[in-house]
Amino acid sequence: MNKKRLSIQENIIWNTIGSIMYMITQWLITILVVRIAGVETAGNLTLAISVNNIFYSIAMFGIRNYQVSDVSEKYSNKTYIHSRMVSCLMATILCWGYCMVIGYSSVQKVCIITYCLFKMSEAFYDVYAGIEQREWRMDYIGKSWMYRGIVTFICFLCGLYLTKNLSIAIMGMVISSFLIIILYDIPATKKIANINTVSSIDSCMCLMKECFPLLCYLILSTVVTMLPRLIMERKLGSYALGVYGSVSAPTVIVQMGASYIFNPFMTLFAEQYNNGQQKEFWSTFRKCLLGIVGISIISLAGGKLLGVWGLNLLYGKEIAEYVDLLLPLICSTVLTALIWFLCGLSTVVRDFKGLIISNVIALIISFYSSFILIDRFTMQGATMALIVSLLIEALFIILFLKKKVEIEKL
C-alpha cells in the first residue's frame, strides 16, 4: 500500500478541482433540461433533487465527518463500508415507500425513484472518499469526481437528447456512476488502505447506533433547506419551482466552493482537538471562516454585476426576468455552507446534543416562516424563510460549540 501523505494544500487543490468539475457538470444538467425539455421537465428534476436530499441524508447517515475524524480508528474501514451498504438500502426502500404514499404524478414518481438510485451511488462512493481523506490522499477523490462528472454528464445528455425522457437520462447517470465505483474508486482505495479489515454485524450496528444522532441532525438540516421549496411547489406549482430551481442552480457553485475550502480541514481539526491544541484549533477555524467570507463577497459582487447577463446566457429571457431572486439565493447558499462548516466542527468535538437542538429550532422556524412569507412574497418568500432559519441555526450552533470547547479546557 502507498502510505504517502499529501500536504493540506495539495489535498485542497485536488479536492477543489475535482469537485468543481463535478459540480459544473451537474449544474449544466439543470440548464440543459430547460433548453432541451422545457421548464416543466426542469420542475420535475428540481422536485426529484429536492425530495431526494432527505433520502441522501439517510444514506449518508451523518457518518462522513465522524469517519474522517476517527483518527484513533475506533471502527475498521470494512465496518464503515458495510454500514453504508445498510444505510443506502434503507434510504432506497424509504424513498419508494414515500413515492407510493404521496400524491405525485406517475412521471414524478419515476423521476424521484430513479434519481434516488443516482444519489445512492454518490452516497456509496462517499465511504471510499472518507477512507482516502483520512489517509490524506484526496488526489484520488479529485480524480474520481472528474471522471464521474464527465461520464455522467455525457450519459445524461445523450439520454435526454435522444429520448426526451428525463427518467431514462437519469438512469444513464446511475449506471455510469456505479461503474466508476467498481472500475476506479475501489481499486484506488485499495492502493492506500486496507479495506478488507475485520468487520461484524455487531460493530456495524454499534457504529450506526453511535452515529444515529448525526443521522437525525442531517435529516433535520436537509428538511430545513428543503421545506421552503416543497411548500412553494404546493402553493405555486411546478412551473414556479422550475424557475426557482433554474435561478438557484448557479448559486450552488458558491455553496460547494466554500465547502471545498473547509472539508479537507476536518481531519486536521480532529487531530488538533484530540491533541489538546486549542490555540491551533481556533486558528484553523478563523482561516476557514475567512475563506468562506471571501468567497461570499466575490459571489455577491459577481451576481450583482453579471446576474442578468448570466441568466440570459444560460436560460434565455424567460428565466432572466426573475433575476431579483439571485442575490438572496446567493446569501442563502453562503449561509448553508457556513452551517455545513459549523455542523462538521460539532461532529469533530462530538457535540451531538447541540446539533439536534439547533436543527430542531431551525426546522420549526423554516416551516412556519415558509407558509407566511411565501403567501406574502411568493418565490422570494421561500428564500427569506430559509435565510431566517439558517441565521438562527448558526447562532445556536456557535453557542453550543463554544460551550463544548470551553468545557474541554477545564
- pLDDT at 24 exceeding the cut of 70: yes
Least Cα distance to 159 among 105, 114, 120 occurs for 114
Is residue 235 within 8 A of residue 374, CB to CB? The reply is yes
Higher-pLDDT residue of 311 and 87 is: 87
Segment 156-176, tens digit of pLDDT: 999 988 888 888 999 999 999
> pLDDT category, 410, cuts 50, 70, 90?
very low
What is the C-alpha separation between 99 and 210, in angstroms, rounded? 29
Q: What is the DSSP letter of 102?
A: S
Say whether 327 sits in a helix, a strand or coil.
helix
- pLDDT at 31 exceeding the cut of 90: no
Long-range pairs for 212-216: beta carbons < 8 A, 24 or more residues apart: 213/62, 213/352, 213/353, 213/355, 213/356, 214/61, 214/62, 214/63, 214/65, 214/66, 214/347, 214/352, 214/355, 215/57, 215/58, 215/61, 215/62, 216/62, 216/356
pLDDT number for residue 3: 67
Rg over CA atoms, the chain: 21
Stated length of the chain: 410
Higher-pLDDT residue of 265 and 384 is: 384
What is the C-alpha separation between 295 and 20, in angstroms, rounded? 14
Cell 428525463 sits on residue: 166
Residues 6+ positions from 371 with CB-CB distance below 8 Å? 231
- pLDDT at 79 exceeding the cut of 70: yes
What is the C-alpha separation between 114 and 165, in angstroms, rounded? 12
Phi-psi region of 249 (alpha: psi -120 to 50; beta: other; left: phi over 0): alpha
If one counts every other C-beta atom within 10 angstroms of the C-beta of residue 142, the result is: 26
Is residue 293 within 8 A of residue 308, CB to CB? The reply is no
Supply 118's cell numbers: 443516482
How far are the Cα atoms of 105, 214, 222, 245, 302 from residue 99, in angstroms, in the given order? 9, 25, 18, 21, 39
Segment 374-391, tens digit of pLDDT: 998 989 999 999 999 999
- pLDDT at 197 exceeding the cut of 50: yes
- pLDDT at 306 exceeding the cut of 60: yes
Averaged pLDDT of the chain = 86
pLDDT number for residue 189: 92
Segment 143-158, tens digit of pLDDT: 999 999 999 999 999 9
| Neighbouring C-alpha atoms within 13 Å toward the C-beta of 289 | 10
Segment 316-329, tens digit of pLDDT: 788 888 888 899 99
pLDDT number for residue 104: 81
> pLDDT category, 1, cuts 50, 70, 90?
low
pLDDT number for residue 407: 63
pLDDT number for residue 2: 61
Q: Percent of the chain beyond pLDDT 90?
A: 31
What is the C-alpha separation between 91 and 99, in angstroms, rounded? 12
pTM value is: 0.75
What is the C-alpha separation between 81 and 101, in angstroms, rounded? 31
- pLDDT at 8 exceeding the cut of 80: no
Segment 32-65, tens digit of pLDDT: 887 777 777 787 888 888 888 889 988 988 888 8
Which of 40-44, 73-77, 140-144 is predicted least confidently?
40-44
